[in-house]
Structure 1
Amino acid sequence: MKYKKHVFICTNQKDAPKKCCGAERGSALVEAFKASLKEKGLSAEIRAQKAGCLDVCAFGPGLVVYPEGVFYGNVQLSDVEEIVESNLVGDKAVERLVIA
């Protein structure tokens, strides 16, 4: 497997009145994850990238971490470092953000 972990962040755009991750910081989250991984020297083993709809619109902005398949919702820019340290490095999900 090329990457130890893979983070897919929804950047999908939908017409109002539906909530959409793209309008709710999806692209900013992608950049924040990429910057954090690069700063920590992890970008060769963990990949963060934009994704289309993850079908968690009501919980957006959303993302999923593989290979675990942990879905996170209502992710804020202030949550990025916690997800990186806890889930991507420490293999422990950030329970307060997990979508059941």
Structure 2
Amino acid sequence: MSFQHHLFFCLNDRSNGEDCCDRHNAFALFKYAKDRVKELGLSGPGKIRVNKAGCLDRCADGPVMVVYPEGIWYTFIDTEDIEEIIQSHLIQNRPVERLQLA
């Protein structure tokens, strides 16, 4: 099964006290994205899938997610950033440059 877009949110929690996505509200923002995609009727086979991921090795940039098939990496701070990614990238196929990681 393939998806139009497949989002992976890093939800890694480093127990040694080092910086990680979990310390930057990653789970709440993942949940917002998953719920919002479902609410908008965008989830399901052939549509959009929002997944949890372990460490994506971008801890200093966190929180992060990667969107496939494009392989575009994003950082974000709040639900407004997530909403912009949903509306622009996922719905209009226009990646959000200001939130992209190199």
Structure 1 unaligned spans of 5+: none
The number of equivalent residue pairs is 99
Structure 1 residue ranges (4+ consecutive) displaced by more than 4 angstroms after TM superposition: none
Instruction: Work out the CA distance in 2 between the residues paired with 1:54 and 1:79.
Output: 20
Give the match's secondary structure for 2:30. helix
- Map of 2:10 onto structure 1: 10
- Taking only the aligned residue pairs, the percentage that are identical comes to 45
Look up the match of 2:57.
Answer: 55
TM-score when normalising by structure 2 = 0.90
Give unpaired runs (5+ residues) of structure 2.
none
Residue 28 (structure 2) pairs with residue 36 (structure 1): no
Q: How big is the alpha-carbon RMSD for the aligned residues of Structure 1 and Structure 2?
A: 1.2
Distance 1:75 1:32, change over 3 A: same
Instruction: Give yes or no for contact 1:13–1:23 (8 Å, CA) kept in 2.
Output: yes
8 Å CA contact 1:56, 1:73 repeated in 2: no
Displacement after TM superposition at 1:29 (Å): 1.4
TM-score with structure 1 length normalisation?
Answer: 0.91
